[in-house]
A = this chain, B = another copy of it.
Amino acid sequence: MSLPPDAAAKVVADLELALHRAAMPVPVGVSVRHFHITEEHWRKVFGNVEPKKKRGLLQPGFWAAEETVTISGPKGKIERVRLVAPWRPKTQVEVSRSDAQHLGIDAPVKGSGKLAGAAPVTITGPAGSIEVADALIVAQRHVHFAPADAQRMRVKDGDLLRVRCGGGGPRETVFESCLARISDQFALEVHLDTDEANAAWVKNGDLAYLV
């Protein structure tokens, strides 16, 4: 086996970074299927009422509402899909791939808000039903960082990170290409969907590690 001359230095640098990060766990947040909605779409589905707050989320400014909808596709439907407020400029429904298969919709992996090429889905509430052409996605794995967390973990916005989850459990898993997102509006958290969380046998608040 022949190696380039700087291979050993690269291996040591990678190991050193991994050891540096190993002391800094990242809490897991499991994203269960949910939707974001424009105010205009909200009126069509819920009428002239306002969403009611059920609970705050770890990410500042976001909250889960009391209100839920039914989403449907050619093969099936899923009830009790919860609103995450506040309003968005585009309506976005985030499901797992298992959910998408149940609906019979070929939903792509997309970063939040990146809805070009998203799949169509029907959203039904107490006041009516809408079909939204580019709304259904499977959320890209990502890690939220406050700027200070990103700095101490030596992460830049847009980095694709390797995250080890479920250590000590029956299904330890390493997720490649987790998108780093840095904002002073963010709290440190790796966001997985239910397929990913269940594959790694982790739940909200379990600790993951950048490796």
- Closest residue of chain B to A177, judged by CB? B172
Q: A1-B16, A19-B1, A173-B175 are in contact. Are A98 and B98 (CB under 8 A)?
A: yes
| A1→B17 CA distance, assembly (Å) | 12
Q: A1-B12, A1-B19, A201-B109 are in contact. Are A98 and B171 (CB under 8 A)?
A: no
CB pair B201–A199 under 8 Å, yes or no, is no
A121 to chain B, nearest CB (A): 18
Please classify how large the interface on chain A is, using the bins under 10, 10 to 19, 20 to 34, 35 or more.
20 to 34
| A195→B15 CA distance, assembly (Å) | 31
A176 on interface, CB distance cutoff 8 Å: yes
CB pair B98–A195 under 8 Å, yes or no, is yes
Instruction: Kindly identify, within residues 4 to 42 of chain A, every residue whose CB is under 8 Å from any CB belonging to chain B.
Output: 11-12, 15-16, 19
- Closest residue of chain B to A108, judged by CB? B170
| A170→B172 CA distance, assembly (Å) | 20
Instruction: Kindly identify, within residues 187 to 211 of chain A, every residue whose CB is under 8 Å from any CB belonging to chain B.
Output: 194-196, 198-201
CB pair A97–B201 under 8 Å, yes or no, is yes
A140 to chain B, nearest CB (A): 7
A155 on interface, CB distance cutoff 8 Å: no
A103 on interface, CB distance cutoff 8 Å: no
A181 on interface, CB distance cutoff 8 Å: no
Contacts of A15 in B (CB 8 A): 1
Contacts of A198 in B (CB 8 A): 96-98, 101, 195, 199
Bitwise, A158-172 to B at CB < 8 A (1) or not (0) is 000000000000111
Contacts of A173 in B (CB 8 A): 173-176, 199
A-B contact pairs, 20 of them (CB 8 A): A1-B12, A11-B11, A96-B198, A97-B201, A98-B195, A101-B198, A109-B170, A109-B201, A140-B170, A141-B171, A171-B177, A172-B177, A173-B174, A173-B175, A173-B176, A173-B199, A195-B198, A196-B199, A198-B199, A199-B199
Given contacts A173-B175, A173-B176, list 7 more A-B pairs with CB under 8 A. A1-B12, A96-B98, A97-B201, A98-B195, A171-B196, A173-B174, A195-B199
